[in-house]
Amino acid sequence: MPDRTRFYRFAGRIGVDGMVEILSVMVVRLMQKGIITAKSLSLDATIISAWFKDCRNRKDEQHLKRCRHEKSKDADASWGYDHHRDTYVYGYKVHILLDSSTALPIVLTVTAAGYGENRTVAWFVSMLLALGVRVRKFFADAGYDSNKTRLLIVEMLGAIPFIPLQTRNCKGATAKEKKARRKLLCYRFYAKNFVKRFWVDPDSNRFDKEFDAKTFSEQLFSVGKGSLDLDSLMHRGREWATLHSVAICVVVLAVANTALETGRPDLMRCVKCFSG
């Protein structure tokens, strides 16, 4: 990725709408080539840092008073818990929907870090309906486990939701009892809404085998935070955080397309292989 100054100059000329349009065109062209099929999708999110000047560690009382008066903080961002870093981060949450078979991004949105993952599912579903893709499997982690989300995926997309059970709020003396209760209630919900044919037992071998495909999404975030500096610029404002995230997805798609055109499909996810 270019340094901060070059990135801001480029992004400032293109704008959010321009970058999103570029991403959309690239996704459609890769779909036309049959590279992105969208038959199996993976939805995930990661937290990136925003600008936040924390003055609580300052020992100089005069400086502390001045900092309180002139504190610098990104008003668009919020605190959110990052499970990978096991700490709270002030920043944004990048939600990305990927083609599971290739780990290539299809569409994304950026919210404040404290924004719940489930609140974005309806938006992603509407984007998929606009693309007209036929989804068969929809993968997400336990943070997306809710009856409303499952039913939305089934009824609107006709896809099987592969989502682990979230047992945090379930009744039970042990973790095993909580999981058993959540699974029973979930199965009853499927039956009540006449969608039992979409039910896959979360404890079955089939579920475990299918869910392994979701690990691809973590690779994209690793590339974004490693080779492409997703978490290093500390943007101020949701617009710039979105621009940066979309720019990274554009780079990933460009690398995949270049690898295919040069006869090296094995390098579709190797950004370093095509960096100057």
Instruction: Give pLDDT tens digits for 182-235.
Output: 999 999 999 999 999 999 999 999 999 888 766 555 566 555 555 445 555 566
Please compute, for residue 133, the number of CA atoms within 13 A of its CA located in the half-sphere on the CB side: 27
With cut-offs at 50, 70 and 90, classify the pLDDT of residue 66. low
With cut-offs at 50, 70 and 90, classify the pLDDT of residue 31. very high
Strand, helix or coil for residue 30: helix
**Cross-strand pairs, 50:** 235
**Residue 99 falls within a domain, yes or no?**
yes
Read off the pLDDT of each residue in 103-116 and give the average, rounded to a whole number.
93
DSSP letters for 62-103: HHHHHHHHT--B-TT-EEEEETTTTEEEEEEEEEEEEETTTT
Task: Identify the CA nearest to 214 among candidates 40, 8, 65, 52.
Answer: 40
Which tens digit of pLDDT belongs to each residue from 67-85? 554 455 678 888 888 887 7
Rounded to whole angstroms, the Cα distance separating 130 from 97 reads: 14
To the nearest whole number, what is the mean pLDDT of the chain?
83
- Decide: pTM greater than 0.75: yes
**Residue 170 falls within a domain, yes or no?**
no
Number of domains making up the chain: 1
Domain that holds residue 210: 4-164+202-274
Read off the pLDDT of each residue in 149-168 and give the average, rounded to a whole number.
96
**Residue 187 falls within a domain, yes or no?**
no
The torsion defined by the Cα of 1, 232, 124 and 122, in degrees rounded to 10, comes to -170
Task: Identify the CA nearest to 210 among candidates 151, 276, 159.
Answer: 159
Read off the pLDDT of each residue in 30-48 and give the average, rounded to a whole number.
91
**Residue 95 falls within a domain, yes or no?**
yes
- The answer to whether 178 touches 169, Cβ cutoff 8 Å, is no
**Residue 177 falls within a domain, yes or no?**
no
**Residue 154 falls within a domain, yes or no?**
yes
- The pLDDT value given to residue 222: 58
